[in-house]
C-alpha cells in the first residue's frame, strides 16, 4: 500500500455538504468528499450505510429512482452536476458505471461495446473503437475471434470485463464501480483487480466494496461511511494501519459490520 496525500492530486469530483434522501428518509448526511483524479478511491462501510446511494449521485444515476433527491452539491470539474443547466446524459458519458452483476445486453460482444458510441453519433471506425476498448479492458485476446458471438456466452468474469469495455468505449474520465466483483469467483476477481490497477493511469476510479482486503489491495484512498456519515477519509494505508477514528478501527478490524 502506498501513502497518498489528498493534496497531491487535483479533485475531479467533489461533494459539498451533500445529503441524499429517498422521500423523507435521509440516508447520507452532509458529506464533503474530494475524489482525486487518476486515483482509485474505495468507499467502504456496513450494509445500508449509503455507499451505493453515494456512488449513484456521481453520475446522476439516482435520477432513475423517483423518490431520490439531494441537497448540497456534486461538483465535477468545478461545476455542480445538479445545477439546472446540466445535461445528465452527458455526465453519464463522462462518468461511466459498472454494476454489481455483469449486465451485458443480449447482443453480440461487438454490439455491446459499440452500442453507446453509435447511438451518440460516433464518427470514427467502430472496429477500431471496439478493439481499443476491449484491449483496455484486458479482454481482447479472449474474444477477438468471436466478436459476433452473444455476450451472454461469456463467463461471469469476462462479462464484467465486457461491461468495463462498454464503459470505456464512451471515453469517460471517471469509472464508478459498485461491488464489481461480488458475483465473481476468486480468479475472475483477481483479474478485475489487476485491470483496475492498469486503468488508474487513464481514468479516475471510485469503487464500492464490502471486501476490506480488496479495498486495501487496490485503492489509493478510502472513505469509511457509517450510518450515512463520512467517518473518515484518507490514504488507504493510513485508514488501514492508523485510523484516526475508533469507529473506523472497529470496522476494519471486523468488530462490527
Ligand atoms: N431506491 C431506494 N428507495 C428507498 N430507500 C432506498 C433505496 N435505495 C437505498 N435505500 C435506502 O438507503 C439506505 C442506504 O442504502 P444503500 O444501498 O445506499 O447502502 P449500501 O451501503 O450501498 O448498502 P449495501 O452494502 O447493503 O449495498 C438504506 O437504508 C436503504 O434501505
Residue bearing the CA closest to ligand 1, atom 24: 47
Average pLDDT over residues 111-121: 95
Please state, rounded to an integer, the average pLDDT across all residues of the chain. Answer: 94
ipTM: 0.98
Domains and CATH numbers, the chain: 38-51+88-252 (3.40.50.300)
Closest CA to 57 of 99, 103, 20: 20
| Segments in 38-138 forming alpha helices (H) | 51-57, 88-94, 109-119, 126-136
Res. 9: pLDDT tops 90: no
Identify which of 18, 22, 24 to mutate to test ligand 1's pocket (most ligand atoms within 8 A of the CB): 22
Closest CA to 196 of 224, 168, 223, 156: 168
Residue for grid cell 452536476? 81
Share of the chain above pLDDT 90, in %: 91
In this predicted structure, what is the pLDDT of residue 7?
Answer: 59
- Three-state DSSP at 203 gives coil
C-alpha Rg value of the chain to the nearest Å: 18
Please give the C-alpha separations between residue 257 and each of 44, 68, 176, 227, in angstroms, as whole numbers: 10, 25, 23, 11
Protein residues with CB under 6 Å of any ligand 1 atom: 22, 27, 45, 47-53, 65, 67, 210
* Whether 39 contacts 9, CB under 8 Å: yes
Nearest-angstrom CA–CA distance, 22 and 30: 15
In this predicted structure, what is the pLDDT of residue 3?
Answer: 52
Name residue 177's beta-bridge partners.
Answer: 98, 207
* Whether 204 contacts 35, CB under 8 Å: yes
* Whether 36 contacts 62, CB under 8 Å: no
Closest CA to 9 of 205, 141, 249: 205
Close Cβ partners of 231 (under 8 Å, ≥ 6 residues apart) = 45, 224, 225, 245, 247, 248
Q: Which atom of ligand 1 is nearest to the CA of 54?
A: 18
Beta strand pairing status for 79-80 and 68-76? Answer: antiparallel
Amino acid at each position: 500500500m502506498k501513502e497518498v496525500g489528498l493534496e497531491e492530486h487535483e479533485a475531479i469530483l467533489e461533494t459539498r455538504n451533500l445529503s441524499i434522501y429517498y422521500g423523507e428518509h435521509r440516508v447520507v448526511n452532509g458529506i464533503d468528499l474530494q475524489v482525486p483524479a487518476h486515483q482509485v478511491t474505495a468507499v467502504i462501510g456496513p450494509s445500508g450505510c449509503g455507499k451505493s446511494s453515494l456512488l449513484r449521485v456521481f453520475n446522476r444515476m439516482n435520477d432513475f429512482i423517483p423518490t431520490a433527491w439531494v441537497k448540497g452539491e456534486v461538483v465535477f470539474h468545478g461545476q455542480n452536476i445538479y445545477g439546472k443547466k446540466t445535461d445528465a446524459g452527458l455526465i453519464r458519458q463522462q462518468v461511466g458505471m459498472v454494476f454489481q452483476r455483469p449486465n451485458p445486453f443480449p447482443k453480440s460482444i461487438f454490439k455491446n461495446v459499440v452500442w453507446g458510441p453509435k447511438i451518440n453519433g460516433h464518427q470514427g471506425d467502430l472496429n477500431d473503437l471496439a478493439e481499443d476498448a476491449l484491449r483496455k479492458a484486458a479482454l481482447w485476446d479472449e474474444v477477438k475471434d468471436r466478436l459476433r458471438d452473444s455476450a451472454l456466452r461469456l463467463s461471469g468474469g469476462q462479462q464484467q470485463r465486457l461491461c468495463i469495455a462498454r464503459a470505456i468505449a464512451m471515453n469517460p474520465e471517471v469509472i464508478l464501480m459498485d461491488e464489481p466483483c461480488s458475483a465473481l469467483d476468486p480468479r475472475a476477481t483477481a483479474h478485475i483487480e489487476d485491470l483496475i490497477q492498469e486503468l488508474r493511469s487513464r481514468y479516475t476510479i471510485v469503487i464500492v466494496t464490502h471486501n476490506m482486503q480488496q479495498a486495501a489491495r487496490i485503492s489509493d484512498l478510502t472513505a469509511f461511511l457509517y450510518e450515512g456519515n463520512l467517518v473518515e477519509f484518507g490514504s488507504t494505508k493510513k485508514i488501514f494501519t492508523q485510523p484516526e477514528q475508533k469507529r473506523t478501527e472497529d470496522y476494519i478490524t471486523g468488530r462490527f459490520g
